[in-house]
Amino acid sequence: MSVSFLAPQLLWSFLAVPVVILLHFIRKRRKKRQVSALFLWKEAVIIAQKQKRFSPSWLLLLQILFVSLAALALAQPVLSFKGPSDRIFIVDASASMAAQDPDGVRIDKAIAAADELLAKSGRVAIIRAGLDATIVSPLSDNLQDLRRALKSIKASDREADLLRALSIAKTISEDAEIHFFSDVASPKGEKIIAHGISSPSLNIGISAFDIGIQEAFVAVTSNHPRPQDIQVVLLRDGKLIAQSSLFVPSKGQATTSFPIFENSGLFELKIEAPDWDSLSIDNAAYIAKNDLNVVSLVDNEALGRSLAVIPNLNYRILPNANINAPGFDLRIIYDQLPADAKGNYLLFNQNNDGELSVIKDWDRSDPLLRFVDLSEVVVSPQADFIDPGWQVLAQSNRLEPIISKYKDQNVNLVALNFNPSQTNMTKRTAFPLLMTNIISHFRNEGQLILGQKLAADSVLMQGEREIKQGYATSPGFYKIDNKIYAVSLLSSFESKLDSFSPEKTTIVENNSTSQINRSLAWWLVLLALVFIFVEWFLWSQANKKINLR
C-alpha cells in the first residue's frame, strides 16, 4: 500500500500551518475589567512578560488540523493497494517450434522459459497460439495447474494466429503483462515482452505437393547455405510409382513433376532428409484423391459429354433411383429440391419452351466461373426458379438470375436456371469449363490443415493402427465418417526455420504491479469540516462562559 498525489504542487498549502500558529501567538488577549487597585496588576504584567507568551489550546490544535487536512485535500492524495501484476503467456505452437535446434527443441525451450518465469509471477493465464488461439489455462496462481497446462502444449500447426492470441489476451486482462514465447518477432505496435527461444538451424522440406491430370507437382525448400541433392519418392496406396533426384539451390526452392497414370488414391511424397535436417514434420506430404460418385435421374447428352472428360468421376444415370440414398457424392436434379434434401445438389431448369435471354453479367472472381466466358450465351430461364436467399453469380439482360449457389448445414447447392438442351453454351468451351468448376466445387479432395480441429470420431491411420485424434496434429491420413483425408504441412515459411532473438528481454520481478486506486480528497474535506465545526463549537461555548461572568 502506498500514497501518491495527483497535485503534489499544492502541498505548499501546508505553509498555512505556521501562519495559524503565528496568528495565535500574536493575537491580542487583553480585556477590560473593573478592579479596585492597579498596583497588583502591574506586578502581574511583569511576571507574565517573564513567562512564555505562547499557550497551546484545543482551539489551536483543531485549527491546525483543519488547515492540514485542507492542504492534503488540495493535493488530491490517492491510496494505492499494490500486488504482483497479472501475466499472460502466449506460446507459439506452429510447426517450426518443433524444430531441433543445437541447444534443444524450440517448444521445449519455450516451455522451460515460461516455467522459470512462473515462480516470479502472481496470477498467470496461458494461451496456445496455433491455427487458432486457445486458452489452455485461465488466470490462476496454482503453480501445479499452470505447469501442467504448459506441458500440454505441442507444436504442430501449419501457422500461428498471433493476432488472435493477442486479442484473447486483452479480453482476459487489459492491464496484464504479456509474454510472448516464439521463434518469430512479435507483432509490431504491441506492448509485449518477447522471449526469442530459437537459434539458427538448417532444414530442408516439402513446400508444395499437388496431383493434377496424370501429373504430380512437387516443390522442395531448403535454408542450407550450400546446394543439396535430395531423393524424392512418390507412393500411391503404399506402392512406389515414381522417384527422382532433385537439386535444391542454396537457400532456395526446386520444383519437379512426375507423370502418373492414376489420379485417384492415397498419394504419399517423401524426401530422404540428411542428418542435419532440424524439422521432420515437413519431410512427407499426403494427398487423398477420391472418385466423385455422381447420379442423375435424367439422361442429358450435352451434360453427359461434359462430365465424361472430367477425371476421377463416376457418372451414372438411374431414372428410378432414390435420389437421397447413401453412396452418392453429387445428385443432379431438375426443377426443384426435394423437401428432405441433404448433401450436394446440381439443380437444372427443366423448362424447354421459355422465352430466350442473353447472359450479360457474371462474377468472374468466383471459383465456379473461373475462366468461363459467358458472353452472348443464350438461355431459357424460368421465373421464380431461384430462391431469393441464394447467391446470384450470373444474370441475364433482363436481370433474371441464371447461375446461383447456396450452402447451409444440410445442403450444398449450385442452381443453373436453364436446360442443357436449350442453350448454345453446350456448343462452346464455356459449358465443359463450367461443369469442371462445379465438380471441383463439390469434390471433397480430402485435404485438412495441420492443426485443424476434427470431428469426434476422427482417427489417424498408421498402417493397420487407428489412433483417435481430436486435432490434426501429425501429417498423414485421417479417417472421418468413413472417408479418408490427408494432412500435410506444405509451408515454405515454416520450413525455412527463421530464428528470432530480441535485442533485450526485460523481466520485471514482482516490481510491475497491478494497483487499485482510491481517492482520499473528499474524505479529507469532510474530516476538515468536522474539525472546524468542533473548533467553532468550543469557541462559542467559551465566549458564553465569559459573557455570563
Number of domains in the chain: 4
Residues 454, 502, single domain; the answer is no
What are the pLDDT digits (tens) for 90-119? Answer: 999 999 999 999 999 999 999 999 999 988
Query: What's residue 519's pLDDT?
Result: 60
Is 50 exceeded by the pLDDT of residue 68?
A: yes
Question: In sequence order, what are the residues at sequence separation of 6 or more whose Cβ sits closer than 8 angstroms to the Cβ of residue 336?
Answer: 347
Residues 193, 120, single domain; the answer is yes
Range of the domain at 397: 292-442
CATH for 413: 3.40.50.880
Residues 462, 418, single domain; the answer is no
Residues 50, 93, single domain; the answer is no
Residues 435, 296, single domain; the answer is yes
Residues 318, 216, single domain; the answer is no
CA angle 268, 272, 278 (to 5 degrees): 105
What whole-number percentage of the chain has pLDDT above 70?
84
CATH for 180: 3.40.50.410
pLDDT, mean of residues 126-149: 93
Count other C-beta atoms under 10 Å from residue 12's C-beta.
11
Residues 451, 397, single domain; the answer is no
Residues 423, 434, single domain; the answer is yes
Residues 296, 178, single domain; the answer is no
Residues 177, 109, single domain; the answer is yes
What are the pLDDT digits (tens) for 376-409? Answer: 999 988 888 878 889 999 999 988 999 999 988 8
CA angle 369, 374, 378 (to 5 degrees): 135
Mean pLDDT of the chain: 83
Q: Residue 535 — φ and ψ, nearest 5°?
A: -65, -45
Residue with cell 472421418: 480
Question: Is pTM, for the whole model, over 0.85?
Answer: no
* Domain end among 427, 442, 457: 442
Is 90 exceeded by the pLDDT of residue 20?
A: no
What are the pLDDT digits (tens) for 264-286? Answer: 889 999 999 999 999 999 999 99
Residues 415, 302, single domain; the answer is yes
What are the pLDDT digits (tens) for 499-511? Answer: 776 654 444 444 4
Residues 269, 309, single domain; the answer is no
DSSP 491-515: -HHHHTT-----S------S-SEEE
CATH for 221: 2.60.40
CA atoms within 13 A of residue 547's CA, in its CB half-sphere: 6
Q: Does residue 536 contact residue 528 with C-beta atoms inside 8 Å?
A: no
